[in-house]
Structure 1
């Protein structure tokens, strides 16, 4: 069968490799294929595979151009499934699936999840607990909206991802600095143009946790498990770890809220990642992502459940009923790490981790000679991760924390004189 992948993400190249192994044809449409070659060790072999076609299109983020291109690809080699692992391209994927008459999320559902202001506005008045918020479609209106919500607050682009340009504002100076920074941001790279909509939200203190779900054909929501998301980098919001598990005291409430949220938004197909803040009065919806959770978590799912979620995304897109990765007897978790200062990576070593209890794997994202920024603003500042297993999330997180101190990171740093 023929799978059309609308962009991807570096870890998602594993899904492309899996589909090729099973004998499927894969066409990847990307504005910048070289991005994956630099970011994923699997990309070179996958792209060279005789059943893999990589189509470079600088206009791929344009819905009209993408639909035209997809129909052209379909005419040459009939497409049986359309999917993505990319947050930026969930609406594009839903639109192309609809155009080709293939399984996929409703376009309205994809828009309601993708654009955070649509999530808030659609759920307003439904009984779903959300922070107080204001939505503006012009940066010139942000200052007034901040006054409406009040300090402290959180400001975020409606179409952002990976915590990019999400900031906790404490006062007027923070607001002025943020507006000056945002004025310079017109796109997110790889042809992804930023929409002008911005959300200003009440700051909710509490643990960040997500529900991983799969919406089966017909709209049946199946909640799979939970992922904890420790944060760092305040006033920015950088995810520094993740553990895939079950058994949280609020699990039943979180699952029920997720089902209601997805139904209200019209999110009716695919693997979904829904984030909550555990506030003083109970879970508060943070955001909904209409795709499989990113980063290392699909790997954690596979370790715990034995099910490859990347492959199940593809199987569902092809019209099959996916096997679902419910957490198993083993809990798996990982932590990301970054550089304490800006500089050039000389080496990243993991030799001291191999003998630690529960060690599964570690990976560096940056090659020697690569310039990196200090871990400070978003998930894009990560330079590697490590993964451990254990009997529960507390043990796993303890093992990860201990291991972080054993990573050998050598950098060339210019010292100010």
Structure 2
């Protein structure tokens, strides 16, 4: 069968590779296909596969242009499914699927999840769904009124952001002005992804951050699969530094029940869904909703624990097949990301000492030697790599992964001012 992938993400190239291995044809449409060649060791072989067709289109972020392009692809070689692993392109994939009459998330549901202000507004009066106090800012000129409404401390974020990019904890007016000055320089997120002007100002909510991974099947049934815990860096930014996929959290029943209300309230009616919650003293509070499979290393953790590859199940679902569901198993897998303490040129990453540690599963560096690296400071895009460890339970897996970070060798050349 023929699947169209609207953009991807570096780890998602594994899904394309698996689909090709099963004999499917894959057309990847991207504004910058070389991005994946530089970010994924699997991309080169996937691109070279006879059943893989890569289309470079600088107009891929224009929905009208994308729909027309896929219609042309469909006319030449019938398309049986459309999907994406990219947060930036969930609305695009939904729009193309609708245009071709193929399975997909409703465009309205995709928009409600993709734009954080729409999530807040759509669920504002939904019984049983707690949200932070918030103000929607359509123009930067409204920001001061929004701050007065919500108050300091608060969190400001772009409505269409992802990977914690440009999400900041603010405590005073000077920090706000510096944030707005920096954000004004950001017209796009790269690869042709333009930024909308909408912002959210939200009450700062304290508590553990977790996500519920779920899937809405073709008949509309929502299945809650498991919970992913999150380890975050300190203020003022919110960088994800670790994740564990498991079942058995003490608030699992309440989280799963709220997750069903959130999905229904947003009109999310198809596909894998990643929904984040703060666990406060008063119970779960909705953080945000993503109308796609969870990103980063979590799909790999799901496969290790449950034996089912969620990347491939995303494709199977889009093709109209009944997917296998990646529920957590008895073995618990956890991952930790790491970065550089300084900006410079990467010389080497050495994982040799990790391989003899109990529970070691794998480790991966995201940058080649000789490439510039940023200081781990602002967002998930500052990651240098990850490690994955397993354990009999969450505590054991956590402890092993945390201890392993001290055994990674990172060599960075730093320019010294004279």
Report TM bin, short chain. Answer: over 0.9
2:25 and 2:101 map into 1 onto residues whose CA distance is 19
1:234 and 1:13 map into 2 onto residues whose CA distance is 32
Match of 2:338 in 1: 337
Give yes or no for contact 1:83–1:93 (8 Å, CA) kept in 2: yes
Match of 2:17 in 1: 17
Residue 258 in structure 1 maps to residue 275 in structure 2 = no
Residue 6 in structure 1 maps to residue 6 in structure 2 = yes
Match of 1:38 in 2: 38
Cα displacement (A) at 1:144: 1.5
DSSP 3-state at the match of 1:29: strand
Q: Deviations over 1:198-231 (max 9, x none)?
A: 0000000011000000100121110000000110
Q: Deviations over 1:46-101 (max 9, x none)?
A: 00111100000001100100010010000000000000000000000000000000
Match of 1:310 in 2: 311
Q: Which runs of 5+ in 1 are unaligned?
A: none
Match of 1:281 in 2: 282
2:324 and 2:201 map into 1 onto residues whose CA distance is 38
2:393 and 2:210 map into 1 onto residues whose CA distance is 16
Q: Deviations over 1:4-39 (max 9, x none)?
A: 000000000000000000101000000000000000
Residue 65 in structure 1 maps to residue 39 in structure 2 = no
Match of 2:114 in 1: 114
Q: Which runs of 5+ in 2 are unaligned?
A: none
Cα displacement (A) at 1:394: 1.1
1:219 and 1:151 map into 2 onto residues whose CA distance is 41
Match of 2:413 in 1: 412
DSSP 3-state at the match of 1:275: strand
Match of 1:123 in 2: 123
Greater shift in the superposed pair: 143-152 or 115-124 = 143-152
Mapping of residues 120-199 of structure 1, within 5 Å: 120-127=120-127, 128-199=129-200
DSSP 3-state at the match of 1:185: coil
DSSP 3-state at the match of 1:148: helix
Give yes or no for contact 1:233–1:376 (8 Å, CA) kept in 2: no
Match of 1:86 in 2: 86
Greater shift in the superposed pair: 351-360 or 139-148 = 139-148
Q: Deviations over 1:376-407 (max 9, x none)?
A: 00000000000000011111111111000000
DSSP 3-state at the match of 1:64: helix
Residue 326 in structure 1 maps to residue 327 in structure 2 = yes
Q: Deviations over 1:262-314 (max 9, x none)?
A: 01100000000000001121110000000000000000000000000000000
Q: Deviations over 1:100-143 (max 9, x none)?
A: 00000110000000000000000001121000000011112112
- Root-mean-square deviation (Å): 0.6
DSSP 3-state at the match of 2:416: coil
DSSP 3-state at the match of 1:291: coil
Output the TM-score relative to the length of structure 1: 0.99
DSSP 3-state at the match of 1:229: strand
2:53 and 2:92 map into 1 onto residues whose CA distance is 19
DSSP 3-state at the match of 2:104: coil
Q: Aligned pairs, how many?
A: 417
1:215 and 1:393 map into 2 onto residues whose CA distance is 27
DSSP 3-state at the match of 1:78: coil
Match of 1:76 in 2: 76
Match of 2:403 in 1: 402
